[in-house]
Chain A
Amino acid sequence: EAQVTQNPRYLITVTGKKLTVTCSQNMNHEYMSWYRQDPGLGLRQIYYSMNVEVTDKGDVPEGYKVSRKEKRNFPLILESPSPNQTSLYFCASSFSQGLGEKLFFGSGTQLSVL
């Protein structure tokens, strides 16, 4: 089944404790990205990747890191999480950057930073 897999689904952590949210897609998609969803703000892009070893900042990259060592994986790293990073996170992928290419989303990761 074609899918984007995110783990974990829920995560509670404390300020400053490094964490990684994994994302993997099995559709051989070139493009992958991370979004965070906050009430009243919709989804905002954190980072995106156009291919292996090619990443770039989205609209809200501060406090986050990403890597794209393999085509299928695009982990999101929070080196020193803070409470303002409490949010619902989505990984997404698409085959290309074509105009009509829809995004396929993971099921989301609800992160709480205490």
Chain B
Amino acid sequence: AQKITQTQPGMFVQEKEAVTLDCTYDTSDPSYGLFWYKQPSSGEMIFLIYQGSYDQQNATEGRYSLNFQKARKSANLVISASQLGDSAMYFCAMKRSGSARQLTFGSGTQLTVLP
């Protein structure tokens, strides 16, 4: 069975600094996808970034980048130049190739950006 682990229930970062949110996963499938979603206090789920297991380069989307270390089975989210609006819950999720079950989520990390 696949599993996603986010070991940081809460994180604090100073505005304008970078922060790394940890995510490790467990799967025996060679083909899979990794996602990060943001959930602000309003509750909606916002897609941030995607990394495929066969992608050669780490994914980047604006201030978000994914530090993908396949051998260590980690997919950490890096947010550069943190902004107050980045304060939210962040979820890591994984999808197996060929699975109709869609995403398996981690327990989330609550990020607070301090002014």
Q: Is the interface of B mostly helix, strand, loop or mixed?
A: loop
B33: chain A residues within 8 A (beta carbon): 99-100
Residue of A nearest to B102 (CB): A33
- Complex Cα distance, B100 from A11, in Å, reads 29
Residue of A nearest to B32 (CB): A99
Count of inter-chain pairs, beta carbons less than 8 A: 63
Contact A103 B91 (CB under 8 A): no
Interface size range of chain A in the complex: 20 to 34
Residue of B nearest to A44 (CB): B105
B44: chain A residues within 8 A (beta carbon): 105, 107-108
- Complex Cα distance, B106 from A85, in Å, reads 20
If A94-B102, A108-B43, A108-B44 touch, whether A99 touches B95 (CB-CB below 8 Å) is yes
A97: chain B residues within 8 A (beta carbon): 98-100, 102
If A50-B100, A97-B99 touch, whether A107 touches B106 (CB-CB below 8 Å) is no
Interface string of A21-36 (1 = CB under 8 A from B): 0000000000101010
Number of residues from B at the complex interface, CB < 8 A: 28
- Complex Cα distance, B44 from A105, in Å, reads 7
Within B1-58, the residues touching A (CB, 8 Å) are 4, 6, 9, 31-33, 35, 43-45, 47, 50, 52
Contact A100 B52 (CB under 8 A): yes
Residue of B nearest to A88 (CB): B43
